[in-house]
Structure 1
Amino acid sequence: MELALLGQGPRAETMMRSAMERGKWVFFQNCHLAPSFMPSLERMIEQIDPDKVHRDFRLWLTSMPSPKFPVFILQNGSKMTVEPPKGIKANLLKSYSSFNDDFLNSCGEKNQTFKQMLLSLCLFHGVVLERRKFGALGFNIPYEMTDGDLRICISQLQMFLTEYDDIPYKVLRYTAGHINYGGRVTDDIDRRCMMSVLGEFYCPDILNEEHKYSQSGIYKQISPALDHHGYMEYVKSLPINDTPEIFGLHDNANITFAQNETYALLGSLVKLQPKAASGGGKSREEIMEEAAKDILSKVPKPVPIGPVMEKYPVLYEQSMNTVLVQEVIRYNKLLKSLHSSLNDLLKALKGLVVMSQALEDMANSLFNNMVPGMWSGKAYPSLKPLASWVLDLVERMDFIQNWIDQGIPPIFWISGFFFPQAFLTGTLQNFARKKVISIDTISFGFQVMRETAAELSSGPEDGCYIRGLFVEGARWDITANMLTESRAKELYTEMACIWLVPEANRKAPDTGIYRCPVYKH
């Protein structure tokens, strides 16, 4: 077999032509990294004459999924896929299958410590990989951790145990969490989460033979006196389906996982759906027309900006006037695009105007209950399907219209803002101008209110009340005035109203708080 790393195009061509004559095997690695070579490779394969090529010639190609990989080669070749193991048990089996007794006893006097920490590290590797299946509950971004990350951590563990008298937990956590695994993590919140998880697997407690990694004790430390066979037997005794407790998650996380799998399946079915409607029922065009007319009947027309600017002029003392005008301008751009494109689509369906590619894409989105790209590009971030998105837009416009008609509300629906950052800045600006201090020295303090939104009839003297936040993975207990565990089968709960209190030179408390990230959904 002759092997070539792609990036060596001319050498690869020469090697392949020689192999076809001599009956050699050729192995081209990492085809996804050489998209410019793919047309040449496709042309060479198309020109192969089975009657003139040596019968022992074989061409092997490896590639990650890539849209640049030639379809012709895929259709005419034999395909094999290498999929990562699913589940913590499968990951542990894969890891420990590559070990032996000599390896487990490679740290001399610290063999037992190495065995215990190795099991803990392999468990951490499995947890990090499998957290991805829970979507945003696991990590904001599904990172591609590899066996190479685990191997370098194991090598470092061996080195530090051999060279240090005391176990340098801080160094081990830093190298694993910030460099090896953490080198792939780009989100600060994900990094914080990973370091928190790692702290459960790289700590002095794991050297206790009775240590449990999960509350049920299914995942636990075992006797380091066991040999490789004993460790394999323990791994084989673990359940195939992981329980959320090993990930530090509530049982509701399994519901989220099942939903994600279902949505992915249904999304694939929608993409495979033929564009031509079969017999019976309404035609595709009729469904699109009904959807367009229904949306036009529900969504209000753009708000006249002149009267709004006249009623809410720019005032030094009240930044909320400017915030409102900016919100109206942003929503108007979206509403104009929505009404204009829907009217054009209705005309195109009747044959009055040409059905452009943009209109056809929008029509397909309406048929599939998806938000058209020409709208989402001008709208606020949202993951809702079309029907829910339209209802949400109507509710947002009601919030804006009530503000215009009735004045500044006592409590703000923060989810209704197109650009909530401007609202938050405006609140700080009001406080800064009132107190005549620099806005750079001000930040928000937070007080969760016991009163409901209906009971808050007037706004606070400083700052503002907000509603419309939801908590995932926990819930707010109004009686105890603290975060607590979710109820069974309750994926989301509405957060209590919060008073955003502007404070000069604020220092956040070190204890008693959780720095909770907030996301637009």
Structure 2
Amino acid sequence: MTNEPPKGLKANMFRSFNSDPLVRDKFFTNAFLYSDMANKCWLRGVFALVFFHELKMFIAQSKSIPFRGHVYLTGECNYGGRVTDDKDRRLILSLLNMIYNPTTIEMDNTQISFLSKPSKIRRKLSLITIWHLPRTAKSTRLNSLEYISTFALSPHPEVFGLHENADINRNNKETSSLIGGVLLTQTDLMASVKASGAAGGASVDPAFAICKEILSRLPQAFNVAEVGQKYPVIYTNSMNTVLRQELIRFNRLLDYIRKSLANVQKAIQGQIAMIPELERTHSSMVIGKLPADWLKRSYPSLKPLGSYITDFLMRLEFFQRWIDEGEPSVYWLSGFYFTQSFITGVLQNYSRKNTLQIDMVEIKFEVTKFESEVDKLPSFGAFIRGLFIEGARFNRETQELDESYSKILFDTLPVMYFRPTLKQTQDDGHGGKEEATKGRTIYDCPVYKTSERRGILSTTGHSTNFVMYMQLNCSKTPMHWINRGTASLCQLDD
């Protein structure tokens, strides 16, 4: 027996107010202070009396509410130990700052006072003005439930700090999940495979044609030995090492895909047994899904099978041009198997050239006015392309983050310049950094490999899906873009 959690803000609040101890009316009153000692509640009453006496003394003596302390206690102490991803913890702290701040209690008087009448208090909970705490002098469970019943069944995404496009994104993912589940229920596919294999009729199986078409498009493996002679390991240029390591990874993946396709064809023809691994690969190929056994040996991807093969061939072509023509003027960051190796290579080249420790060097991110290509190589650092941004768009005129257009879920970032430099920034504690030289605020935009934004927690404390933080100019506060869920992606899902 399972108990599915409710869906939606209204249903979740109803569930909270109908659970213990909120379901008890005594929770909303001071009646528990006078509980009958015969019911063994005297200890709770004494403790509550002491607590409220201390609270009353604190309120009388304090001139301001310690909002910062409340944020720390709730975000770091209550939830911090349960949230392992630092990006999620950053979002929790940002949401708490929306609630635990003086603007939550807006009064007619300019000075906050605990003696103000409840009718003068408007406690806003979101950017939408209709969402606020109830204006009642006496808060009871029934009053709270009556107020919650006035909420909309489907609240506007702005209630959570999200853009209206978040609804479209959520609906797309739910629809894809539903269709994927329906396709997995088609159990008659394997029956047709076994029948085709027994009769030797491989031509009627759609997977056989898919394997044949993909195999015809796959190129030969890279000759790593020849590449090593053309681009030897040099202390001053780490990109040669990055290139060689990437070719080894792609050769390994290419070899596995080629063998897997050939074995599926043989299994359909009845030449070898249809082992569980081949059966899973066959089932995924028929419904256009990327086989799970391929994904275990691949770079992260949420693309369907057709789009994955196209993307895979584009990556191989990118490295082949690198081999034939030399280092590209603009690196396709999304095309790397292990993106962090390229970033480390950029830092190593700069630190070795200037005889610096690599942990003293960081990358500054400058958005250029080029959309795909540039004229020449930079003297140091690198130009990169291929990044997308979700939850915002990049305004080409103002050169800063701006609100997304309606119904446009993603925006393509222009060519960016990775400029290595000595560390000179200070964290402002709200997901942004303030440059010591220019005194302007920028947003620490996380870069992920896929839109899933999660992976396996690595030893560095980051998810394996996380690449780096990228600093982007913004006119609004960094907390605004944290609540928007603004992030950069190396690839899309289609």
What band does the TM-score fall into relative to the shorter chain? 0.7 to 0.9
Distance change (3 Å), C-alpha of 1:314 and 1:278: closer
Shift of 1:163: 6.3
* Structure with higher RCO (Cα < 8 A, 6+ apart): 2
Name the residue aligned to 1:461: 379
Counterpart amino acid of residue 164 in structure 1: F
Cross-structure match for 2:406: 488
Instruction: Look up the equivalent residue of 1:203 and give its one-letter code.
Output: N
2:16 is the counterpart of 1:92: no
Q: Who is 1:224 aligned against?
A: 136
Equivalent of 1:187 in 85, 94, 119:
85
Provide the residue aligned with 1:272 in structure 2: 185
Residue 160 of structure 1 and its aligned partner are, at CA, apart by 8.0
1:284 shift after superposition: 9.7
Q: 2:300 aligns with which of 374, 381, 387?
A: 381
Matched, 1:311 2:230: yes
Residue identity in the other structure for 1:411: V
Q: Is the deviation greater in 406-415 or in 349-358?
A: 349-358
Q: Secondary structure at the match of 1:384?
A: coil
Separation in 1 of the partners of 2:303 and 2:52? 49
Contact kept, 8 Å, 1:431 with 1:462, in 2: the verdict is: yes
Equivalent residue runs for 1:27-426 within 5 Å: 81-97=2-18, 98=22, 102-106=26-30, 161=55, 164-165=58-59, 166=62, 167-208=65-106, 209-228=121-140, 229-276=142-189, 286-426=205-345
After superposition, what is the alpha-carbon deviation per residue over 1:242-279, rounded to whole angstroms, capped at 9, x for unaligned? 21011100000001111121122112212211134799
Task: Find the aligned partners of 1:234 and 1:502 in 2 and give their Cα distance.
Answer: 55
From the superposition, tell whether residues 100 and 284 of structure 1 become closer, same or farther in structure 2 (CA, over 3 Å).
Answer: farther
Letter matched to residue 174 of structure 1: Y
CA–CA distance in structure 2, aligned partners of residues 424 and 472 of structure 1: 22
**Amino acid in the other structure paired with 1:335:** L
What is the distance in 2 between the residues matched to 1:204 and 1:101?
29
Q: Specify the SS of the correspondent of 1:493.
A: strand
What letter corresponds to residue 413 of structure 2 in structure 1? Answer: M
Does the 8 Å contact 2:281/2:292 carry over to 1? yes
Map of 1:512 onto structure 2: 441
What is the identity, as a one-letter code, of the residue corresponding to 1:88? L
Aligned partners of 2:342 and 2:369: how far apart in 1? 23
AA aligned to 1:475 is: R
Structure 1 residues 237 and 160, CA gap change in structure 2 (3 angstroms): farther
Letter in 1 for 2:339: P
Q: 1:133-174, CA deviations, whole angstroms, 9 ceiling, x for partnerless residues? A: xxxxxxxxxxxxxxxxxxxxx9xx979845632443233222
Residue 185 of structure 1, CA deviation: 0.9
In 2, the alpha carbon distance for the partners of 1:450 and 1:374 equals 41
Which runs of 5 or more structure 2 residues have no equivalent in the other structure?
Answer: 33-47, 107-120, 193-200, 427-432, 435-439, 451-494
- Judging changes above 3 Å, is the alpha-carbon distance between structure 1 residues 83 and 322 closer, same or farther for their aligned structure 2 residues? closer
Once residues 318 and 444 of structure 1 are traced to their aligned partners in structure 2, the CA distance between those partners, rounded to angstroms, is 17
- Structure having the higher helix fraction is 1
Contact 1:445 1:506 in 2 (8 A): no
Q: CA, structure 1 residues 92+399, in 2 after alignment: closer, same or farther (shift >3 Å)? A: same
- What is the rounded CA distance, in whole Å, between the counterparts of 2:191 and 2:271 in structure 1? 26
**Contact 2:266–2:272 (CA<8 Å) still a contact in 1?**
yes
Report if aligned partners of 1:215, 1:245 keep a CA contact under 8 Å in 2: yes
Deviation at 1:206, TM superposition (A): 2.1
Conserved? CA contact 2:189–2:283, under 8 Å: no
Distance in 2 between the 1:159 and 1:501 partners?
A: 58
TM-score by length of 2: 0.74
2:16 maps to amino acid: S
Asked whether the 8 Å contact 1:403–1:409 carries over to 2, the reply is: yes
Report the residue type matching 1:502 in the other structure: P
Letter in 2 for 1:515: D
Q: In 2, distance between residues paired with 1:338 and 1:278?
A: 25
Query: Matches of 1:159 and 1:393 in 2, distance apart?
Result: 67
Change (3 A) 1:180 1:285: farther
CA-based RMSD of the aligned residues comes to 2.7
Q: Secondary structure at the match of 2:331?
A: strand
Check 1:236–1:159 CA distance in 2 against 1; reply closer, same or farther (3 A cut): farther
Helix, strand or coil: the match of 1:183?
coil
SS of the residue corresponding to residue 164 of structure 1 reads: helix
2:394 aligns with 476
Residue 235 of structure 1: how far off its partner (Å): 1.4
Give the drift of 1:486. 0.8
Deviations 1:473-516 (A, max 9, x none): 11111111001111111111111221111112433542511111
- 1:500 partner SS: strand
Residue identity opposite 2:95 in structure 1: V
